[in-house]
C-alpha cells in the first residue's frame, strides 16, 4: 500500500476531525499518524514490537501529532480499546484473530455503534499454479486466501456491509518488496559479523514473491 493509496483510503473513509481510531498490529504507526495529520483524528496503535513502537512514536512526533496519537506495546490479539472508537482497524495482520472472521469479531468489540471497521487482507489475483507458488505467497494452502469476489462475499456472509475499498497494485507491491532489499543490504554492511548475517544475506537476493494483491475494505455492521 503506497503513500498515495494510503492517503486515498483516508479520504475515502470521510474522516472527520476528532474521530477516534484503534489500529491493531499498527507496525510503525504510519496510517494512524498520517491520518491524524491530514484529518485531525485521534488514535491508539497497538503492536507487539517494541522497535516498531519506538519508531511509531518518533514518526508521530515528526508529523506533529504526538499529542493526538498514542502507541502501546501489547499483543494485538485480544486487545480491546478502553473506550469505543469510531474506526477499528487491522491492516495486513488478520492472523491476530485467526483470519478475517475472528479479526472482525475482535475489532467489533472496540467499535462504537455505527462505527467503521477497516480490514486489510490479501486476495488471489489468479489461481496459484502450484503448491510452491502458494508457499511463496506466505500461505500454507490456497484456502488461506480468497479471490476478490470471494473476499467481498465473505464480508456479507459474516453480517457486514462492504462500504468502501482501496486496492494495492503490482507497483505498490514491488516498491514494498524492493525497499526491503536496500534495508537488508544496508544492515549487512553495518553488521557483517552478526549471527543473523548469513540468513539475511540470502534473503537480500530474493526475487519479488508472487504474492497476492492486498485489498483494503471498510465494512459496517448491517444492523448499524
pLDDT in tens, 183-207: 888 989 999 999 988 888 776 454 4
Domain ranges of the chain: 3-130+137-169+212-221
One digit per residue, pLDDT tens: the chain, 224 residues?
Answer: 788 899 999 999 999 999 999 999 999 999 999 999 999 999 999 999 999 999 999 999 999 999 999 999 999 999 999 999 999 999 999 999 999 999 999 999 999 999 999 999 999 989 999 999 998 888 889 999 999 999 999 999 999 999 999 998 888 888 888 888 888 889 899 999 999 888 887 764 544 444 444 444 545 555 44
Fold type of domain 3-130+137-169+212-221: Rossmann fold (3.40.50)
CA distances in angstroms from 17 to 13, 52, 84, 105, 136, listed in the order given: 12, 26, 17, 26, 41
User: Global pTM?
Assistant: 0.84
Q: Are 139 and 200 in contact (CB under 8 A)?
A: no
Determine the pLDDT at residue 219.
54
Determine the pLDDT at residue 19.
97
CA angle 41–45–49, rounded 5-degree value: 155
Spell out a b/e string for 154-182, using b for 16 or more CB atoms within 10 Å of the CB, else e.
bbeeeebebeeebebeeebbeeeeeeeee
Q: What strands lie across the sheet with 213-221, from one edge to the other?
A: 69-73, 42-47, 20-24, 85-91, 111-123, 213-221, 160-167
| Exposed / middle / buried, residue 60 (Cβ in 10 Å: 0-12, 13-18, 19+) | buried
Determine the pLDDT at residue 170.
86
3-state DSSP assignment of residue 197:
helix
Backbone angles phi, psi at 71, to 5 degrees: -135, 135
Amino acid at each position: 500500500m503506497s503513500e498515495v493509496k494510503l492517503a486515498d483510503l483516508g479520504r475515502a473513509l470521510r474522516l472527520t476531525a476528532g474521530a477516534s481510531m484503534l489500529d491493531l498490529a499498527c507496525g510503525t504507526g504510519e496510517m494512524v499518524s498520517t491520518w491524524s495529520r491530514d484529518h485531525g483524528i485521534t488514535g491508539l496503535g497497538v503492536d507487539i514490537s517494541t522497535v516498531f513502537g519506538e519508531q511509531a512514536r518518533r514518526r508521530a512526533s515528526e508529523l506533529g501529532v504526538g499529542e493526538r496519537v498514542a502507541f502501546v506495546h501489547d499483543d494485538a490479539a485480544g486487545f480491546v480499546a478502553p473506550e469505543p472508537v469510531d474506526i477499528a482497524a487491522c491492516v495486513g495482520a488478520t492472523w491476530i484473530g485467526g483470519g478475517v472472521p475472528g479479526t472482525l469479531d475482535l475489532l467489533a468489540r472496540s467499535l462504537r455503534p455505527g462505527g467503521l471497521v477497516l480490514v486489510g487482507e490479501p486476495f488471489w489475483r489468479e489461481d496459484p499454479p502450484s503448491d510452491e507458488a502458494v508457499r511463496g505467497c506466505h500461505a500454507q494452502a490456497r484456502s488461506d486466501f480468497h479471490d476478490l469476489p470471494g473476499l467481498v462475499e465473505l464480508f456479507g456472509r459474516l453480517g457486514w456491509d462492504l462500504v468502501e475499498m482501496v486496492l494495492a497494485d503490482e507497483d505498490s507491491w514491488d516498491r514494498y518488496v524492493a525497499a526491503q532489499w536496500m534495508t537488508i543490504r544496508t544492515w549487512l554492511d553495518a553488521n557483517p559479523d552478526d549471527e543473523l548475517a548469513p540468513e539475511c544475506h540470502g534473503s537480500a537476493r530474493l526475487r519479488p514473491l508472487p504474492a497476492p494483491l492486498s485489498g483494503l475494505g471498510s465494512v459496517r455492521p448491517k444492523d448499524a
